């Protein structure tokens, strides 16, 4: 039976709601726009038109995947982050809107070199390089598959000449000094994993948890950072909302100055920022 775009949207929203999803109408529109290969803002214009059989089947498949709690970004294969489109696959974390706070904070001061530890899709380092046209960046990750996604995003955004990617267990294979170190490491504690939303089961486990107390990566990163920062270089770490003071204490213990916790747009602690001293005695 042929249906209009509007009728298909209503049926899909009903299926998504019955599957327990919030934001059913929004997801249905995004997925319909994806199937019709139009911008989501044009859905209302095409709503009265008939949906052909091929598009109807493709849309049904998308809705079935979403009912199984697969994230919309994984079904679309992309996510918009800080004004750019990033390819997202099951090998990388779906970049989160909260992480845009880290970008805004990092851009408050100029930098010519940036290191992104745990680069994933490349969302952080590539967004920073896009805004800072003379800067160069390095992104590292333990996951070779994530690095391949980051490289393809760099290619798509025309930033490959200013960034390089390397496989590394945090600082293990990193050499050189940077003006800025950024990281959004896995920070979910092992005992919090069973309570997470079903969508997170589609993301790489190593992007979510350290399999410990959620603070392991911060211990390693804060301990190694001064050896890779220029004097007065900055470090910005994304954190879970309860981890601010623990991570701030780690940075203070290493001799960092101007340690601050920055909230996200919901008012939850989200970023810890600090500045390396004038001269790094460790160097």
Ligand X SMILES: C[S@@+](CC[C@H](N)C(=O)[O-])C[C@H]1O[C@@H](n2cnc3c(N)ncnc32)[C@H](O)[C@@H]1O
Q: Which residues bind ligand X (CB under 6 A)?
A: 93, 95, 99, 118-121, 123-124, 141-143, 146, 169-170, 184-186, 206-207
Of the two residues 62 and 159, which places its CB atom closer to ligand X in the complex? Answer: 159
Distance CA 255, CA 268 (A): 26
Of the two residues 16 and 125, which places its CB atom closer to ligand X in the complex? Answer: 125
Least Cβ distance, residue 82 to ligand X (angstroms)? 11
Least Cβ distance, residue 96 to ligand X (angstroms)? 7
Of the two residues 33 and 94, which places its CB atom closer to ligand X in the complex? Answer: 94
Least Cβ distance, residue 173 to ligand X (angstroms)? 10
Distance CA 86, CA 77 (A): 8
Of the two residues 28 and 124, which places its CB atom closer to ligand X in the complex? Answer: 124
Least Cβ distance, residue 277 to ligand X (angstroms)? 26
What are all long-range contacts of 66-71, with beta carbons under 8 Å and residues at least 24 apart? 66/16, 66/19, 66/21, 66/27, 66/31, 67/15, 67/16, 67/19, 67/21, 69/19, 69/21, 69/197, 69/198, 69/199, 69/201, 69/202, 70/199, 70/202, 71/199, 71/202, 71/203
């Amino acid at each position: 039976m042929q249906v209009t775009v509007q009728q298909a949207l209503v049926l899909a929203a009903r299926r998504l709601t019955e599957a327990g999803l919030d934001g059913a109408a929004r997801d249905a529109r995004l997925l319909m726009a994806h199937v019709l290969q139009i911008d989501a803002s044009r859905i209302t214009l095409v709503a009265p038109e008939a949906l052909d059989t091929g598009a109807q089947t493709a849309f049904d498949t998308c809705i079935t995947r979403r009912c199984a709690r697969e994230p919309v970004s994984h079904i679309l294969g992309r996510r918009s982050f800080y004004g750019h489109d990033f390819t997202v696959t099951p090998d990388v974390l779906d970049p989160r809107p909260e992480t845009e706070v880290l970008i805004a904070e990092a851009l408050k001061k100029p930098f010519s070199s940036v290191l992104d530890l745990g680069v994933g899709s490349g969302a952080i380092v590539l967004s920073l390089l896009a805004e800072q046209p003379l800067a160069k960046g390095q992104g590292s990750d333990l996951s070779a598959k994530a690095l391949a996604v980051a490289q393809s995003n760099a290619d798509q955004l025309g930033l490959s000449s200013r960034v390089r990617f390397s496989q590394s267990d945090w600082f293990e294979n990193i050499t050189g000094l940077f003006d800025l170190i950024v990281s959004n490491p896995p920070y979910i504690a092992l005992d919090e994993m069973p309570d997470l939303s079903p969508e997170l089961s589609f993301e790489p486990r190593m992007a979510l948890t350290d399999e410990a107390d959620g603070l392991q990566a911060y211990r390693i990163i804060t301990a190694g950072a001064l050896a890779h920062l220029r004097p007065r270089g900055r470090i910005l770490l994304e954190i879970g909302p309860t981890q601010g003071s623990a991570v701030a204490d780690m940075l203070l213990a290493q001799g960092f100055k101007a340690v601050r916790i920055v909230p996200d747009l919901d008012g939850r602690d989200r970023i810890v920022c600090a500045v390396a001293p004038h001269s790094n005695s460790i160097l």
